[in-house]
């Protein structure tokens, strides 16, 4: 909100009301999403392998599923919670009990995350460099009795909880100034 030396060099300075940075961010997010000015290809990449396949430098959690209970968001959905992986206790090389999660013939030391692809649940390891997984961005559904939403859906719901003009009013700026940004 302060016109610093750095801000004075910008092409546009928008003196928002102090403390309204969150409202400004949500206004800009709403505008970007309504106008489809986001990178679908990048955001759909659920893991490292998908990013590599698409020539992207990284991946996103936008398609990852989040559990929703009584209208409140919780943790990311895990594959074992909907029967995609199986939890087992095995002995390691030292004879100690260790928990592993299996998916097909593959074993993991932790339970995999889940996204939907074309409406079907897919378990994935975000750091996997071999099996590319891309997910649906806008998800609000139930999977095996668990209510879930994608991270992108939750972001949209937050940004759309107020009209663009209402966000601008909270910031104490003209909506056109935010649109210019």
Q: Over the stretch 17-29, which tens digit does the pLDDT of each residue have? A: 999 999 999 999 9
Taking Cα atoms as reference points, which of 113, 1, 101, 118 lies closest to residue 64? 113
Global confidence as pTM = 0.90
CA distance 47 to 176: 37
Q: Are strands 146-150 and 97-103 parallel, antiparallel or unpaired?
A: unpaired
- Residue 140: the pLDDT is 98
- Residue 44: the pLDDT is 98
Percent of the chain with pLDDT over 70: 100
With a cut of 70, which residues of the chain have pLDDT below it? none
* 73 DSSP β-pair partners: 68
Q: Dihedrals φ, ψ of 25, to 5°? A: -60, -45
- Residue 92: the pLDDT is 87
- Residue 1: the pLDDT is 72
At 52-86, the pLDDT tens digits run: 999 999 999 999 999 999 999 999 999 999 999 99
């Amino acid at each position: 909100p302060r016109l610093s030396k750095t801000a004075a060099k910008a092409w546009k300075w928008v003196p928002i009301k102090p403390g309204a940075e969150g409202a400004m961010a949500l206004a800009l997010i709403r505008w970007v999403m309504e106008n489809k000015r986001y990178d679908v290809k990048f955001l759909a990449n659920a893991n490292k392998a998908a990013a590599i396949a698409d020539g992207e430098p990284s991946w996103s959690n936008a398609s990852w599923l989040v559990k929703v209970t009584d209208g409140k968001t919780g943790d990311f959905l895990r594959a074992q919670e909907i029967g995609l992986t199986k939890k087992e206790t095995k002995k390691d090389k030292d004879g100690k009990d260790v928990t592993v999660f299996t998916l097909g013939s593959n074993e993991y030391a932790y339970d995999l995350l889940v996204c939907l692809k074309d409406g079907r649940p897919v378990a994935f390891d975000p750091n996997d460099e071999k099996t590319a997984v891309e997910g649906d961005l806008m998800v609000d559904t139930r999977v095996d009795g668990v209510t879930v939403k994608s991270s992108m859906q939750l972001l949209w719901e937050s940004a759309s909880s107020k009209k663009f003009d209402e966000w601008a009013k909270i910031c104490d700026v003209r909506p056109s100034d935010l649109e210019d940004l």
